[in-house]
Structure 1
Amino acid sequence: MRLTLHTDYALRTLIYMGLHANRRVSTHEIADAYDISENHLVKVIHRLSRLGLIDARRGRGGGLVLAHAPEDIRIGDVVRKTEDDMRLVSCESAHTEGTSCILSDMCKLRGALAQALDAFMKILDATTLADLLPGPLASGDTVQRA
């Protein structure tokens, strides 16, 4: 399974904010740290804010901060809320939309892939943002670019 850039950026944003939990950070700062598009990151931050994962404030004294403690943010929840399509193969959509595959009566692929996705998500559900943080940065340290 390959996560979308939207989910990738969402996870990077949360990790960056977790590393700098003692202060508000800016969109520009995160984009610069990871060398990613600030325009795309704005969309990600908007979604994270709507999902209640971050608190985003504009203007003087504004910025971004986690809305929950890192140990309360489950990575599986973030992935489910930021991925629009968790299907691993296109035949899954054909099955749910009422069209059929000529192999559907004997195909075991969907079942195997469903088990694989369940195992993948089980690991992410057991992982919190706190588990992904190496520890607080010392004053003056910077995040390594991905």
Structure 2
Amino acid sequence: MRLTSFTDYGLRMLMRMASAPERAFSTADLAEEFDLSRHHLSKIMQRLSRAGIVETRRGGGGGATLAQPASELRLGRVIAVLEQDQPIVECFGSGPHSCTIDRQCGLKARLRAAERAFLTDLDRSTLADIALSEPRNAA
């Protein structure tokens, strides 16, 4: 299974946030640290916020913090949130598709089972298990 860059960047952001849970992180700071688009990270932060994974505050001293301890955030759930609307194969998508073997396909059920197994296995780990130990820019 290949994860999207959206998920990759979201996991990086969460790993950083888990390394200093008392600190509020701005998307600008995270974008600079990881050399990524601030606009792209803002979209990721919005999705994480809507899912209740992070809490955001605007204004001075604002930013994003984890909505719960990193030890309670299961990786499978986080990845499912970040990968939503990204089907493993085209025929799993919600839009129109033209699969000529759809009624005979034995692959679909196996792929769905594999995807569930993948996320279930990741749920054995938490964000705390993969948190960054210290900021990359630390001296």
TM range (shorter): 0.7 to 0.9
Q: Are 1:63 and 2:57 counterparts?
A: no
What letter is aligned with 2:16?
Y
8 Å CA contact 1:91, 1:101 repeated in 2: no
Check if 1:14 corresponds to 2:8: no
Distance 2:97 2:44 in 1: 33
TM-superposed CA distance for 1:57, in Å, is 1.1
Closer/same/farther in 2, CA of residues 91 and 36 from structure 1, 3 Å limit:
same
Percent of aligned pairs sharing the same letter: 39
Instruction: Give the stretch that moved more between structures: 110-119 or 124-133.
Output: 110-119
Deviation of the 1:131 alpha carbon: 1.1
Corresponding residue of 1:142:
136
> Are the structure 2 counterparts of residues 47 and 92 from structure 1 closer, same or farther at C-alpha, using a change threshold of 3 Å?
closer
1:142 alignment partner AA = R
Specify every segment of 5 or more residues in structure 2 that has no aligned partner in the other structure, as ranges.
none
SS class of match (1:80): helix
- Please say if 1:102 is aligned against 2:96: no
Give, in angstroms, the shift of residue 34 of structure 1.
Answer: 1.0
Distance change in 2, residues 1:121/1:22 (3 Å): same
Q: 1:40 to 1:103 in 2, by over 3 A?
A: closer
Task: Tell me the TM-score normalized by structure 1.
Answer: 0.78
**Aligned position for 1:116:** 114
Deviations 1:122-142 (A, max 9, x none): 11221210111254x2xxx42
Number of residue equivalences: 138
Q: Post-superposition, which runs of at least 4 consecutive aligned residues in structure 1 deviate over 4 A? A: 97-100
- Tell me, what secondary structure is at the counterpart of 1:84? coil
SS at the partner of 2:64? strand
Q: Unaligned regions of 5+ residues in structure 1, if any?
A: none
Using a 3 Å threshold, how does the CA distance of structure 1 residues 59 and 100 change in structure 2: closer, same or farther? closer
Change (3 A) 1:143 1:17: farther
Partner of 1:38: 38
Q: TM-score, normalised by structure 2?
A: 0.81
Aligned to 2:75: 75
Bigger CA drift: 21-30 or 77-86?
A: 77-86
- The range that moved more, 3-12 or 60-69, is 3-12
Quick one: distance in 1 between partners of 2:107 and 2:128? 35
2:83 aligned partner, one-letter code: E
- C-alpha deviation, 1:11, in angstroms: 1.3
